[in-house]
Structure 1
Amino acid sequence: MLTVENKVTTVFVGNIGIGGNHPIRIQSMTNTPTHHIEKTVNQIITIWKAGADFVRITIPNTKDLEATKKIKALLTKQNFNIPLVADIHFSPKLAIRAAAIVDKIRINPGNFAELGNNIPENEQQAFIRKKVSELIAVCNQYETSIRIGVNHGSLPERILQKYGNTAEGMVALTMQYLMIFNDLKFKRVIVSLKSSNPLVMVYANRLLKRKMIATNLNFPLHIGVTEAGDSDDGRIKSALGIGTLLQEKIGSTIRVSLTEPPEKEIPVAKKIICYAKEKTAISSDFKNITYPEIFSKRKVSATSLVDFNKYPQVLIAGKNFRQNKSQYIAIDNKNHSYEKTVVPFSEHITGIPIFTVNTIDKLSDYSGKDKMLLITFNEIKANILKIKNDKLLILIYHLSDLSPVYEVDAFFDFLKKEKINNPVIFHKNYTENDLETLQIKVAMDFGRPFINGYGNGLFITNHGTINNTAIQQIAYDLLQATRMLITKTEYIACPSCGRTLFDLESTTQKIRKKTAHLKGLKIAIMGCIVNGIGEMADADYGYVGGTPGKISLYKKRKLIKKNIPEENAVDELIKLIKDNGDWQDIHS
């Protein structure tokens, strides 16, 4: 089990402090080719005006490096003091030259100084140290900071062979670099571990934090879910991953990666930070709370209703059970075509009764198999003897706006100590009229328990204007993001940057329109090859920019066809899916 502290030093990027007592910083990245100077300058300003603290640009070659000098000069001329971050892959030489221009260099240890396969590890480490030393020399001269940005999708072969494509591998690679930076006494370091899978991202950052504490390293962390996608999925995945860590006070700067115009990332980031502040500000009596280092799903007892170990449930309702208002709700699961009516016990004639603390004494007299108990943590502690031996009871655990972050952990610790293995469905009331805000709050309230292996379903009630169909979809989207229940096609889509070789936003929409009915299929849509193959490791099919105007198609990590003209590539993807037997007609 893991307990995390939050003590980090301050690192400056230009005039912006990160870590220490500074607020959580927000960043985004341009998606214009950097050598399109005027467009890039305008987009940097747009992102900054939306509320970003600094902006990242890609520098894949010398042409873009020279353009960056002009971009910096134009921003200064227009009186915009916006810190710039250079995103560098594959080239230590470019990183060294860029360090004299920008405020921060992002290097990717997966491709920064790798000599290739079958190189003795001592030679590899010596080469990394040499290249890092050269970069540090320039950064010291210009007071440039460095982000060590490890991506789940671009781990080097030597790490993959030893650890696999895992959170442990991400942390091992990061620690190799951190120890070199620490040994060379370079302190202007920020660290990030990102993945398109929110669970991998959360567990990697938790593990890194523990390793850093154990080795007395206190560098600030930049956090984000990469390739989160667009629309609802991108917001829920980002709130799930980033929100979980911020509630645990891990993370000093964030990016929400959406396959949308970059300025649209900023309002989402602000909402995540704001809600994390609200939740962490709630006073708590829970001390020494720990949570899993590796994912392990809580096993629950069987009920006559459904096997909750396999099929988490979604309850659909409108009114507030905590106020004992009369209502009827349905319990269902998209992978099972059934609905069951659920009613308060006081009005029970047919269907599944829900008991509360006011009717809990009637539990022992009820002869039906299916029954639920809506209860708070304090209520269950006070009434434990009345439910302890009822193996068929389904618990609906009610959280309020005053429930502290670690209450859920304490609740499940209590159940474990009392040897209670009953299924638990989470419940909370909201009063939201804005769909995006509700998505973020639900993902942050319930995503963290799901990531920790707790819970068997969701019961969301909202007293705003959002309809029940939309609320139900939020529940399904969160269950899919946590890998608990797959009910639709999964898209892994990068947010686009200056390396992108096609229009990601419109292409993602085209692919989604033609494949959204393929439940359970995972399709990766990548603008370039930098993270492509690795981030596609979890996908069934990959659509990747190879060269300008040309697309490569993958089945898992295997390249199937390359140099496909962009105008034909979506149809070729559909053909590939059909040829492999994964296609379903819409009405089948």
Structure 2
Amino acid sequence: MQPYCHSRFKAVRRVTREVMVGPVGVGGNNPIRTQSMTTSLTPDVEATVKQCIRLAEAGCEIVRITAPNKAAAEALGPIRKQFSAAGFANVPLVADIHFLPSAAMVAVEHVEKIRVNPGNYADKKKFAVLEYTDKAYEEEMERLHESFTPLVLRAKELGRALRIGTNHGSLSDRIMNRYGDTPMGMVESALEFIRIAESHNFHNIILSMKASNPKVMIQAYRMVVDKMNDEGMNYPLHLGVTEAGEGEDARIKSAVGIGALLYDGLGDTIRVSLTEDPWFEVPVCQELVKRAHAHWEQSATLPDTKRHEDHASFYEYKRREIIDLSFGEDAPLGPLQPPRVITTAGRPLSEHAQIIKDVLNVNRKFKDAKVEGLLIRVENDDDLPHLAQLQKVLSPTIEAIVVECSQNVSPQALEDFNWSDQLRWMFVCNFKEDCLKHAHEWAVKHNFLLALDTSAHQVLEWKDTIQELGDEHFVFTRTGVPEDTHPTGAYRALGDALKEIGSKSPLWIRVTPAMQVLEETGFGNQLIEASMVAGSLFVDGLGDLISIENVDQFDQRTALAYNLLQGARMRATKTEFVACPSCGRTLFDLQEVTQRIKSRTGHLKGVTIAVMGCIVNGPGEMADADFGYVGGAPNKINLYVGKECVKFNIPEAESLDRLVDLISEHGKWVEPEVIAETAEV
């Protein structure tokens, strides 16, 4: 038993109580429920009902509506009636409450669930108190108990559900002062409210621990489960990465965070937060749910295998320790280096001219996301002349060539080949232990790397030999999945085995077609699959090289690897955008404004820009952002540097220019033309 999940090698669903949200059960034996949120102004009843209907027709099982004030909360009455009259009485509605208990008390009369943000609910954000004494803290808790109790009692009387929805970006004064802006602070913020509810014997509760940083989000969910276990709680979990943004990047970031937890058996309802029309969120939720249930069903048939101790750090990010090696002249491997990207050629070597064209096209197209290593397969001796042409043309362009050889290639032909020392060479090996020493001698002779495609079991069996040969010429990887685990579990087990024998050789994460739990085609499905497998590993500190091999197109394989590394906060090769989904609180058109900001600033490598529709979560969720663009009032924008607001109430028409000026003032602005010229040199 692990502290927060049944197994980190089998996807065994966590057992929770069933919470009824109207007629829809969440947790228990129910399937994972999909959610989304309307973006219309809530008092516009007609528009909000239309959005609710469209979401339900898209397959959304629970619909959330913002209720920032009493007027919006009162509008929930006619919205519920009209939505039911349209044939959707079985689809529950949720009121999203942040600051006002008075709005919550109105909303609870009309909808099936109330979402309360414990950092905002009846709380202040002035940070006037710099240090809370135990007595002052107790007084704050008494005040909170008094403010929250009426909602709990009314929800209990009406049979409503409550979601205690913690956001990393909106923790209260007392939590920030005592715990800081940390996952533990998020957990304690939720537990404060749960304990109040339980004091009234109310248990119809769902929890969420959302953050825009998948690492923080995953750690917080794991930690809250651990703490609930300690206190005998078994509440269902609502999963989500908040402020994920839009497009592929948002889908990657969401699949990394949500997928990692689903692999661990955690999660009972999910929402994918996109800065897009809300009905586009539903298919992404459904794809994640489909994969989670496939893994959970598959795990029921897997044998129980006793495994050695898991060496991962569950509640804080800690990268696996490795030695410093070279993957090419400009691509070092090491504990302080970003993971390196390998792209599989996807063509036979006889098509070497097209392979060369693919590589050069990608390197021109992406500039900062180039092919660093090229994975090719040598089928027989006749392929070696084509390999010679490949290395001749590409040696100035890429760092390394990774070679998989079939058994039809003669050892003598390999020995006679003229291996260019302008490239780093790595050979993928899958053989018995008695061949390992010979392969190692050959690698030392030519200064090659050997990528051992092996299992955790083999590593432990070969312990003495691996320790004798040392770490300097080995990389470890997996291309398949053992019968007793899932893809993430296979790599976790391999990382554990390397830790156990004291090996600090790098780990290469390969996402192969054999690792897909569902045999589906299409880039969207492949993106989600790759993000779930590799993203969760990088969040756990595993992975020094990556190759995405389940994607059809060469350029998509390369781009997805870099985008996945950026989504997992492992490597920045472009501007990072933190953008909230639209809702009824938003003070400008988030989709249109986000696109304008991206078109103007999207070339700024390594700069993080937050685009927030309002101030509810904005300043807090910008904890990791360099600059923030936040709706402060209708047609007015506030600009932030980090969490500090430095420009107030700028007219929206001038706001993008002022943002660029602010970036320039802090030395982060580079003209697009300058980047293009540098890339050509």
Give the corresponding residue for 1:409.
492
CA distance in 2, matches of 1:325, 1:498: 59
Distance 1:401 1:549, change over 3 A: farther
Distance 1:3 1:66, change over 3 A: closer
Find out whether 1:395 has 2:475 as its counterpart: yes
Find out whether 1:370 has 2:443 as its counterpart: no
Cα drift, residue 384 of structure 1: 4.3
CA distance in 2, matches of 1:467, 1:275: 23
| Candidates 313, 323, 338, aligned match of 2:340 | 313
Q: 1:346-373: per-residue Cα shift (whole Å, max 9, x none)?
A: 5564251414124644222331223132
Alignment of 1:423-442 (within 5 A): 423-430=506-513, 433-442=521-530
Alignment of 1:277-292 (within 5 A): 277-280=293-296, 281-282=298-299, 283-287=302-306, 290=310, 291-292=312-313
Kept in 2: contact 1:304–1:392 (CA 8 A): no
CA distance in 2, matches of 1:21, 1:440: 25
CA distance in 1, matches of 2:210, 2:379: 44
Find out whether 1:97 has 2:183 as its counterpart: no
Give the corresponding residue for 2:283.
267
Cα drift, residue 401 of structure 1: 5.6
Q: CA RMSD in A?
A: 2.4
Kept in 2: contact 1:400–1:428 (CA 8 A): no
Kept in 2: contact 1:24–1:253 (CA 8 A): yes
One-letter identity of the residue aligned with 1:20? G
Return 540-549 or 177-186, whichever deviates more: 177-186
CA distance in 2, matches of 1:547, 1:325: 64
Q: 1:141-165: per-residue Cα shift (whole Å, max 9, x none)?
A: 2111100011000001221122211
Q: 1:204-239: per-residue Cα shift (whole Å, max 9, x none)?
A: 000000000010011111110000010011000000
Alignment of 1:114-513 (within 5 A): 114=123, 117-118=128-129, 120-280=136-296, 281-282=298-299, 283-287=302-306, 290=310, 291-292=312-313, 293-305=315-327, 306-309=332-335, 310-319=337-346, 325=379, 338-344=398-404, 346=409, 347=414, 349-350=418-419, 351=423, 352-358=425-431, 360=436, 361-366=438-443, 367-377=445-455, 378-388=457-467, 389-400=469-480, 403-404=485-486, 405-430=488-513, 433-462=521-550, 466-513=552-599
| Candidates 112, 116, 134, aligned match of 2:121 | 112
Query: Equivalent residue of 2:664, what SS?
Result: helix
CA distance in 1, matches of 2:447, 2:673: 36
| Candidates 74, 78, 88, aligned match of 1:66 | 74
CA distance in 1, matches of 2:3, 2:450: 32
One-letter identity of the residue aligned with 2:94? V
One-letter identity of the residue aligned with 1:414? A
Return 8-17 or 353-362, whichever deviates more: 353-362
One-letter identity of the residue aligned with 1:551? I
Query: Equivalent residue of 1:149, what SS?
Result: strand
Query: Equivalent residue of 1:512, what SS?
Result: helix
Q: Which has the greater radius of gyration?
A: 2
Q: 1:19-75: per-residue Cα shift (whole Å, max 9, x none)?
A: 000000110000111111111111111111111111000011222122211111111
Distance 1:582 1:50, change over 3 A: same
Return 202-211 or 474-483, whichever deviates more: 474-483
Kept in 2: contact 1:426–1:459 (CA 8 A): yes
Alignment of 1:476-555 (within 5 A): 476-555=562-641
Cα drift, residue 114 of structure 1: 2.1
Kept in 2: contact 1:149–1:193 (CA 8 A): yes
Give the corresponding residue for 1:27.
35
Cα drift, residue 262 of structure 1: 0.4
Q: 1:99-138: per-residue Cα shift (whole Å, max 9, x none)?
A: 1111000011111122664371111111111122111121
Cα drift, residue 584 of structure 1: 0.5
Return 13-22 or 381-390, whichever deviates more: 381-390
| Candidates 5, 24, 33, aligned match of 1:16 | 24
One-letter identity of the residue aligned with 1:106? R
Distance 1:10 1:323, change over 3 A: farther
Task: Tell me the TM-score normalized by structure 1.
Answer: 0.94
Query: Equivalent residue of 2:279, what SS?
Result: helix
Task: Tell me the TM-score normalized by structure 2.
Answer: 0.81
CA distance in 1, matches of 2:70, 2:113: 18
